[in-house]
């Protein structure tokens, strides 16, 4: 009551033509998680129901497919290895685990067929490829405390995620609806999407606790995927035999109140720069002059009104500008000390010089005389009369 390997991966067309009845997986697209096996070649003497696997039939398994031989909803044998397999109802289950190791044997022990040799069997296939492009979107804004803004903000996220079936027997037993012979991910995704969005809320809260700024969330898709995996993988693997593979964020947006808070905080950060503040003051004055010139009652009336307004607010504008300029001066780098100006001298040979030696004859520059505060004329570094240093 099982399958026997006929040949492995390398199957030539001539060799496969030996068998009169061959089953393969029905159409399996990128969103297909489960489908039936269909008869692709039928012998003339075969009797029975279509797509029912009889003793001696051959099943072709391709890469990234998991084949189950099923009777009455119970699995009698399986394989996770590509190749050709012959159905032999007189044999014991072969259980070709492939890359899944002993994990599948444990699952098989829970859901295996326990009766006599069955009269009819069917074959099904599970897609082992990554199931991509599963869309999600938050129904309500997700709260996000941002320490940088010191505020409780709210964001919306839209994108896609992908899953991979890591225990196909568990997935078949718990996720595939009974009496279905073809299942797309969209058909079973409603429950999983609700759980995904709950996990997304937890993952976003964890990112907030880790101090990630809300404006960086859209660029943290990989980190978000890891957060999601930590929240969901153990539960989904244990319950349904699948895991989150990746999360892709197409867009992250904020609700209206959060956007206003962010804009206000950013504007305040800009206005903390005195240069920006002074530009804002001067721009306001310039806009006032422009508005006065286009006054519908005449430019003169506009300028008169502006003059009265400026007289009333001149002290405020003046104080603001003075404060801005003072702060800019404090922040400006100190000017470099001017280079000492060299005094020229004329050598006895008649050559004018500025250095310590004559450029023509090489004589040293004569010592410069200076007068001390005590009135003594000197040429050295200290006063010869009172000892004061040269200024």
Please report, for the domain that includes residue 189, its CATH number: 3.30.479.30
Are 115 and 142 members of one domain?
A: no
Residue 115: what pLDDT?
43
Residue 289: what pLDDT?
56
Is position 40 within any domain?
Answer: yes
The mean of the pLDDT values for the chain is 76
Best-predicted range by mean pLDDT among 88-102, 158-172, 245-259? 158-172
| pLDDT above 70 for 381 | yes
Residues found in the chain: 391
| pLDDT above 70 for 344 | yes
Domain that holds residue 174: 138-254
Are 147 and 114 members of one domain?
A: no
Is position 187 within any domain?
Answer: yes
Is position 287 within any domain?
Answer: no
Is position 284 within any domain?
Answer: no
User: Do residues 246 and 162 touch, judged by C-beta distance below 8 A?
Assistant: yes
The pTM score is 0.61
| Distances from the Cα of 94 to the Cα of 47, 56, 108, angstroms | 26, 15, 12
Residue 205: what pLDDT?
83
Are 47 and 156 members of one domain?
A: no
Are 157 and 247 members of one domain?
A: yes
Residue 59 CA to residue 61 CA, distance in Å, equals: 6
Phi-psi category of 179—alpha, beta or left, where left has phi over 0 and alpha has psi -120 to 50?
left
Is position 322 within any domain?
Answer: no
Burial class (CB in 10 A: 0-12, 13-18, 19+), 203: buried
| pLDDT above 50 for 390 | yes
Residue 153 CA to residue 151 CA, distance in Å, equals: 6
Mark which of 78, 97, 127 sits at the end of a domain.
127
Is position 218 within any domain?
Answer: yes
Of 50 and 242, more confident: 242
Name the one residue in this structure whose structure tokens are 């067929």: 113
| Distances from the Cα of 92 to the Cα of 15, 83, 151, 212, 269, angstroms | 25, 19, 65, 56, 74
| pLDDT above 50 for 117 | no
How many distinct structural domains can be found in the chain?
3
Beta bridge partner(s), residue 122: 70
Phi-psi category of 358—alpha, beta or left, where left has phi over 0 and alpha has psi -120 to 50?
beta
Are 107 and 146 members of one domain?
A: no
Mark which of 98, 127, 156 sits at the end of a domain.
127
Residue 186 CA to residue 346 CA, distance in Å, equals: 99
Q: What would you measure as the largest C-alpha separation in the chain, in angstroms?
A: 138
Is position 378 within any domain?
Answer: yes
| pLDDT above 50 for 383 | yes
| pLDDT above 50 for 265 | yes
Is position 259 within any domain?
Answer: no
Residue 187 CA to residue 191 CA, distance in Å, equals: 10
């Amino acid at each position: 009551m099982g399958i026997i390997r006929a040949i492995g991966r390398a199957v030539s067309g001539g060799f496969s033509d030996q068998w009169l009845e061959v089953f393969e997986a029905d159409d399996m697209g990128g969103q297909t998680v489960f489908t039936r096996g269909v008869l692709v070649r039928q012998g003339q003497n075969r009797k029975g129901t279509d797509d029912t696997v009889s003793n001696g039939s051959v099943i072709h398994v391709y890469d990234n497919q998991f084949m189950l031989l099923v009777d009455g909803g119970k699995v009698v044998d399986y394989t996770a290895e590509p190749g050709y397999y012959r159905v032999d109802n007189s044999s014991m289950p072969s259980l070709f685990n492939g890359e899944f190791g002993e994990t599948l044997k444990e699952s098989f022990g829970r859901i295996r067929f326990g009766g006599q040799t069955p009269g009819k069997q069917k074959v099904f296939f599970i897609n082992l490829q990554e199931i991509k492009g599963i869309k999600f979107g938050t129904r309500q804004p997700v709260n996000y405390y941002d320490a940088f803004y010191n505020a409780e903000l709210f964001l919306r996220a839209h994108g896609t995620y992908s899953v991979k079936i890591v225990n196909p027997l568990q997935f078949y037993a718990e996720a595939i609806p009974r009496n279905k012979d073809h299942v797309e991910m969209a058909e079973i995704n409603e429950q999983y999407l609700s759980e995904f969005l709950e996990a997304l809320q937890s993952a976003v809260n964890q990112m907030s606790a880790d101090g990630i700024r809300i404006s960086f969330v859209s660029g943290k898709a990989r980190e978000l995927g890891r957060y999601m995996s930590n929240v969901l993988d153990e539960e989904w693997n244990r319950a349904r035999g699948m895991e989150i593979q990746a999360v892709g964020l197409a867009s992250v947006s904020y609700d209206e109140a959060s956007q206003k808070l962010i804009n206000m905080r950013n504007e305040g950060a800009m206005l903390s720069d005195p240069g920006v503040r002074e530009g804002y003051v001067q721009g306001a004055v310039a806009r006032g002059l422009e508005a006065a010139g286009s006054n519908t009652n005449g430019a003169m009336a506009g300028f008169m009104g502006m003059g009265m307004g400026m007289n009333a607010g001149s002290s405020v504008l003046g104080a603001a500008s003075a404060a801005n300029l003072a702060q800019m001066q404090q922040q400006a780098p100190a000017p470099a000390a001017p280079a000492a100006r060299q005094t020229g001298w004329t050598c006895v040979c008649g050559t004018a010089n500025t250095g310590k030696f004559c450029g023509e004859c090489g004589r040293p520059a004569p010592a410069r005389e200076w007068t001390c505060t005590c009135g003594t004329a000197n040429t050295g570094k200290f006063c010869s009369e009172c000892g004061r240093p040269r200024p």
